[in-house]
Structure formats: structure tokens, C-alpha cells
Amino acid sequence: MSDTAKVSAPPRRRKSASKRRANWFVASFLVLPVALYLILVLSPFAQAFQFSMTNWNGTNPDYKFVGLENFKKLFTSDLYSVYLIPALKHNAIMLIVVPLAVIALALFFAFMLNVGGKSRGGRMRGVGGSAFYKILFFFPQVLSVVMIGILWQAIYRSDEYGLLNALLAIFGVPLKSSGWVSDPSLVLVMVMIVMVWSSVGFYMVYFSSAMASIPAEIYEAAMIDGSSRVQTFFKITLPLLFDSIRTAWIYLGIIALDGFALVFIMTPQQGGPDHGSEVMGGVMYNFFSNGQAAMACAVGVILFFFTLTLMALSMRLTRRENVEL
């Protein structure tokens, strides 16, 4: 017995040495990507934390450490009520409305394009022209944010040449001469409509791909049992797409918190009127523009922890056991 053990020991040592060499070989390919990630991604985060505790103006290399003074100013001065509170409020509204609207519309369109048509030969199919509709809905994804903003500026024009006013005029609705994005009570809604419009196509294709992985036999069995399309959606499609929906919710939450580009392009005073569309990104931009880079970094740190907390809560609250097919 001992002789056998002695004979078998060297191969195990050779195997262990071979495994270590393989691990070092794989690690050698990770050195450059990890180094680039540390330099280009994590380093700016660390610098933002550092500058948020200084009086840096963005250009002067001679700055002083002031501790938490910038955060104290944000929460105790007029900046809190004029800038920070409206921005947090608007971002919170976007965080709820945009993901809900995009996911609901994308799921509906994906379901219709995959199993919403008439059944043929006992098999459930999508509506006619599904491939064309996928291309049509996905089209906004090929446009840049700037192009989308300019396009919807033309739609929201306050005169008779604005597409929205022209459509309303057909039905006898008077023109909104003050402008759709010049009304503080409407501007945020108008921006969120654009955000939903520009995002639905991508997530429709995303959910369509996820639905394609669901075996057709499950739908056919439900159809034989007499289930309606609504019952099929809520009892089969929705539970099996839960992980995809959770992922979409997280990414859409990040998009909602990062809506500054559209706000900057489409709204008066890049967040107006009367701070009606102010977002956290706009507050950061205003501080940078006014030579208060350290305050902008402090706002960025607040937004970082706000986003991190929300994503952690989303992951925790939506955690469940995987459904096996």
C-alpha cells in the first residue's frame, strides 16, 4: 500500500506544478487589462473623492484640504434647497418612471413580436412583419444623444412647425405657444418621454432574445390547456424572464440617474425653466462652469453613494431562486 502511494505521489506534484504554470500564464494576460482599469476607471473615482475634500477650482494646482466642508455647504446653505433637493427629486422620479415605462413597453412589444401572432400548425408565432418591427424600434439606438435631443427639440417646437403642435392642431387642440419644454410643470415629463422612446427598442430586442431561449413546447402546452395570451405572459414569460428584467432595471436606473445630456440639450438654461428639469449631472456641470470643481466632485461623490445604495437594494430585493427549464 505504501509503495503504491509513493509511486503515485510524483504525478500529483507534476500536475500541481503544471496547474500553477497555467495559472501564471492566464494571469499574465490579465495584467494589462487590470492595470488599464485601475488607471482609467478606479483612479478617477479616487481623485474625485480626494478633490471633494479640497478647495480646488479646477485649474489652480495650489489647493488646500478642507475636509468635509464642501459637503457641509451642500446640505446647510441655500445650495441645498435651490440645487440639490430639486435635482435629487427629479432623479428619483426618473429612477421610478423611466425603468417602469421602458420595461413595460419593451416586454409588451417583445411578447407581441415573438408569440403575439396567430398560431399556425399548433405553434405560437409573432405578429406579421416581426423582423421589420424589430429594426424600426431599434433605430433610435443608432442615433447619438445629441441627434436625439435636436430631433425632439423640433418635435417640441412652440410654433405651428412643431410636429407635436401640428398633430394636436389636426384634432382642434390649440397650440401651446409657450413651448412644451418651457413649462416647469411639463419639462421633466417631456424629457422622460424622450428617454423612454430612445431606450425601448434596445430592451425590446434584449427581451426578444431572452424569450427566444424559452422552449416553444412550454407555450404550446399552455395553449393546449386553454391559456390565454395574457395568462401565458404572466404565468410563463414573466417568471422565466425575471433575471433579464432585473438586469434591465439596474441599467435603466443608471440611465435615469445619468439623464444630463438630454436635459442639457433640450431644456432652457440646461435644467430649467426655474430648475424644473434640474438633475444631479446638471448641478455638477454648473459647479465646474463656475470654477467650483471641488463642489462638483462632492456632488459626484453623493451621486456615487446614492447610485450604489439603490443598486444594492435592487439586487437584494429582487434576489430569488433561479427557475429551471
Evaluate whether 288 touches 51 at the Cβ level (below 8 Å).
no
Closest CA to 64 of 72, 56, 52: 56
CA distances from 280 to 54, 80, 245 (A): 20, 12, 26
pLDDT value for 1? 45
> Is residue 80 predicted with pLDDT exceeding 90?
no
| Separation of alpha carbons 175 and 90, rounded Å | 27
pLDDT at residue 258, as a whole number: 79
Cβ count within 10 A of residue 59: 8
Long-range contacts made by residues 290-293, C-beta under 8 angstroms, separation at least 24? 291/57, 291/58, 291/59, 292/57, 292/58, 293/51, 293/56, 293/57, 293/58
CATH for 72-317 is: 1.10.3720.10
What's the average model confidence in pLDDT over 221-232? 78
The pLDDT of residue 196 is above 90: yes
What is the pLDDT confidence band of residue 116, given thresholds at 50, 70 and 90? low
Residue, of 126 and 32, whose pLDDT is higher: 32
Contact 294, 278 (CB under 8 A): no
- Residue 240: CB partners within 8 Å, gap ≥ 6? 214, 323, 325
Span of 6-10, 184-188, 244-248 with lowest mean pLDDT: 6-10
Confidence of residue 98 (pLDDT cuts 50, 70, 90): very high
* pLDDT band (50, 70, 90) for residue 165: confident
Q: Is the pLDDT of residue 81 over 70?
A: yes
Q: What is the pLDDT of residue 171?
A: 82
pLDDT band at 2; cut points 50, 70, 90: very low
What percentage of the chain exceeds 90 in pLDDT? 12
Q: Which residue's entry shows cell 440611465?
A: 255
Q: According to the model, what pLDDT value does residue 131 have? A: 76
